[in-house]
Chains A and B, each alone.
Chain A
Amino acid sequence: MSEPVSYLRVRGRPLLREVPGPTERTVVSELIPRKQEERPENGKTVLLDGLSKSFASRRVLSRLNLEIPAGQLLAIVGRSGCGKSTLLRLIAGLDRPSSGVISVGGAEVKSLQSNVRLLFQDARLLPWHRVISNVGIARTKNWRDSAAAALADVGLADRANDWPAVLSGGQAQRVALARALVSRPGVLLLDEPFAALDALTRMEMHRLLERIWNEHGFTTVLITHDVAEAVALADRVIVLRDGGIALDMPIDLPRPRRGAADTAAVSLQAQILDEV
């Protein structure tokens, strides 16, 4: 994918040259992750030190300490309202903590970070921009080339000139993922991005995320209420309860994972569910 993708426009429809780009049907065969050793070291360490956040009189997070090593895929599980999304917004710099310090790659988070990208539960594409312009929303130098490459990465190179309104839910989330990838982030935050998708699409998105994570090597924090999803994807699962960490468990299952077919995964899921 290092070749720049160039387009010929014929009546607004792109003709893809050079790189055929995986189409929807070929996605699954492409998704076998590479070996761990090949992963680039683009990830940034995320450090939370005594982090607290209160809204009015309600304390959502209290004195949270957590180190997320560079390149780790961490899943945070918890009931709704346990402060999962609040934690993610704090790491992204969208909100400020009531007390405590967050640092990403050694630098304290004081405002929005350009090397931290957040994927929302809904895709949040601008409906008045075509897919490619949505991916290149930051309009950095040569944004068309990098946006086209990111779209090819998520298997949607052929939808570059479509309006977001014609995409399916899964496709829209893949475009949102491509948009997050363009800037080569050190940390990718995912706020239940697959919750609204059907089961098959969700599994496809899991494999896609795993492959992209392997290729890019960013640190990932995935928020989910689906314990099976957490065990299927993460290196480590954390259960948030009453504003604190109730469980911190490494998941040492080999990749690619087989989900429910793996008895070890099922027993881990049971342990996590006990704590949620």
Chain B
Amino acid sequence: MTAGRAGEKGVLMATRLPQSRSGAALTFLASWALPLGLLVIWEIASRSGLLSMRLLPAPSAVAAAFLESVRNGTLLTNAAISTERALKGLIIGGGIGFALGILAGISRLVEVVFDTSMQMLRNVPHLAIIPLVILWFGIGEEAKIFLVAIGTAFPLYLNTFHGIRTIDVRLIEMARVYGLGRLALFWRVILPGALPSILVGLRFSLGIMWLTLIVAETISSTSGIGYMTMNAREFLQTDVVVLGVIVYALLGKVADTITRLIEARALAWHPAYRMNPTGEATS
């Protein structure tokens, strides 16, 4: 990719969405119009009796359940426990996937030893091993963290590996001509070059992280958002079930927003990600 072509791409991206303050507010409103509109229709349908309260509670009922669960503390406790499990699994699994991806990307030997196995294992739906996991770990914390770790390892491994392998070899050759050692080559050429792909992997991993956790908590747990919803189902508290679903959606959104912020900061050089052309130097 030449600098000139990259510049053109930046111009195209810049004209895609309005950049001014009022434009940003408009963009924000536009992105929330659809969910808010659905909410209003849903409430009207519930109040008018079109929807049975037992099958799908009105948004106002869910809001009441939300206030009640905040007041008695169950929501925050359960959300905190779920988040903790999710992050522990991500750090262990994602960390292993990332490290293996880096090693396989820079070392032919590691690639030969690990890549075939990783490509084979990644096609196994990790939720299929739940029965085994329960046998191994029981229904304790380890089982859930293990499942999340398995799920998050593969996207990070694949994208890190791919990111390193698709770095422009001409840049590596240039770095050699200018006398960069192996460490400098890694930190200043290979890692930044692979970062866009690594962050894509992180976003995939975050999605799988929540998905896995929901399933794991629903099957066997005594705490967490998944447990909260399953418990509510036993007592036909559909408002709490819906609340649990919404909490998952919000947690997922928060995770996604955090990765977007990381992207905007770490990939400020990239024309497609550039938000503020005069941002601070990253080097």
Contact = CB atoms under 8 A, between A and B. Distances in A.
Q: Do A and B come from one complex?
A: yes
Interface of A: 11-13, 92, 94, 112, 114, 117-118, 120, 122-130, 133, 137-139, 161, 163-169, 172, 179, 196
29 contacts: A13-B278, A94-B173, A112-B176, A112-B177, A112-B179, A117-B177, A124-B170, A124-B173, A126-B171, A127-B6, A128-B193, A128-B267, A128-B270, A129-B269, A129-B283, A137-B175, A137-B180, A138-B179, A163-B268, A164-B3, A164-B6, A165-B3, A165-B6, A165-B10, A166-B10, A168-B3, A168-B4, A169-B2, A172-B4
Given A127-B270, A128-B282, A129-B283, A92 B177 contact: yes
Nearest to B175: A137
A12 B279 CA distance: 6
Contacts of B1: 127
Contact of A130 (B6, B176, B180, B281): B281
Interface of B: 1-4, 6-7, 10, 170-171, 173-180, 184, 188-189, 192-193, 195, 267-271, 274, 277-283
Highest count of chain A CB atoms <10 Å: which of B4, B178, B268, B281:
B178
Contacts of A92: 177
B4 to A, nearest CB: 5
A180 to B, nearest CB: 9
Given A122-B2, A127-B269, A166 B277 contact: yes
CB-based closest 4 A-B pairs: A133-B283, A128-B192, A124-B174, A165-B6
B174 A94 contact: no
Contact of A125 (B3, B267, B271, B283): B3
A123 B280 CA distance: 24
A21 to B, nearest CB: 19
Contacts of B283: 128-130, 133
A129 B176 contact: no
Contacts of B274: 163
Given A120-B170, A165-B7, 14 more contacts: A13-B278, A126-B171, A126-B175, A126-B189, A126-B192, A128-B193, A128-B195, A128-B269, A164-B3, A164-B6, A164-B269, A172-B3, A172-B4, A179-B178
